[in-house]
């Protein structure tokens, strides 16, 4: 997946570092303060000026879209990296990363166009990442054979729809869900 045509990762190494720092700072700020997070705060967190933020992301929407797509790309990379693990560990590793993705998505959900081509592509990428991991876990006998990747993603998405007291609670709830996914 790629970012929107209007937002491109810079070629120069220093500009790329600034771009990546802005994405990381925006992700953190949106997770803490929701979609109304201050752009000035995001620039400060990234260690750049507000002009650098606007040079990379001319509109707030560009920043929302870029943060969202960066999360999708990271989720797909995690699937690729986890593919070499034991089938159950690969699936569980990816699902833990998926939970992190949903936290970012929830923070900016109202600000992204859910009917856009970008969102359709993101959904396709998520399913394309999940399917082989689940199939492999099912074929190894580690995951229930009576579930589809759609079932699995809906289960985990539902678990992340509400906020958690802390990271330990989120991990505990995910572990309970994974127990339900595991073959008996």
Q: Which domains, ranges and CATH numbers included, belong to the chain?
A: 13-58 (1.10.10.60), 69-181 (1.10.357.10)
Instruction: Average the pLDDT over 91-97 and give the result.
Output: 94
pLDDT (average), residues 33-47: 93
Whole-model pTM: value is: 0.81
Helices (H), 11-148: 13-33, 39-46, 50-56, 60-82, 87-108, 117-139
Question: Residue 105: which pLDDT band, with cuts at 50, 70 and 90?
Answer: confident
Radius of gyration of the chain (CA): 18
pLDDT at 138 exceeding the cut of 90 = yes
Residue 36 gets which letter from DSSP?
Answer: G
Q: Which residues pair with 182 in a beta bridge?
A: 143
How does residue 79 score in pLDDT terms, banded at 50, 70 and 90? Answer: very high
34 Rama sector, left if φ>0, alpha if ψ -120 to 50, beta otherwise: left
pLDDT at res. 103: 72
Q: Residue 116 pLDDT > 90, yes or no? A: no
Q: Where is pLDDT greater, at 173 or 109?
A: 173
Rounded-to-integer distance, Cα 141 and Cα 183, Å: 6
> Helix axis angle, 117-139 relative to 149-159, nearest 10°?
110
| Torsional class of 141: left (φ above 0), alpha (ψ -120 to 50), beta (otherwise) | left
pLDDT score for 156: 87
């Amino acid at each position: 997946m790629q970012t929107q045509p209007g937002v491109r990762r810079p070629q120069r190494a220093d500009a790329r570092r600034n771009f990546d720092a802005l994405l990381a700072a925006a992700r953190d700020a949106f997770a803490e303060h929701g979609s109304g997070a201050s752009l000035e705060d995001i620039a400060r967190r990234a260690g750049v000026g507000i002009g650098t933020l606007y040079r990379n992301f001319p509109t707030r929407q560009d920043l929302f879209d870029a943060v969202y797509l960066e999360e999708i790309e990271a989720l797909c990379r995690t699937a690729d990296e986890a593919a070499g693990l034991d089938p159950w560990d690969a699936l569980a590793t990816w699902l833990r990363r998926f939970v992190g993705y949903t936290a970012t998505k929830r923070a900016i959900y109202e600000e992204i166009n859910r009917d856009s081509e970008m969102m359709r592509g993101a959904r396709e990428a998520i399913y394309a990442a999940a399917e082989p991991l689940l199939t492999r876990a099912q074929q190894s006998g580690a995951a229930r054979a009576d579930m589809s990747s759609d079932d699995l993603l809906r289960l985990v998405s539902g678990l992340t729809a509400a906020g958690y007291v802390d990271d330990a609670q989120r991990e505990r709830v995910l572990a309970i869900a994974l127990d339900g996914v595991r073959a008996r």
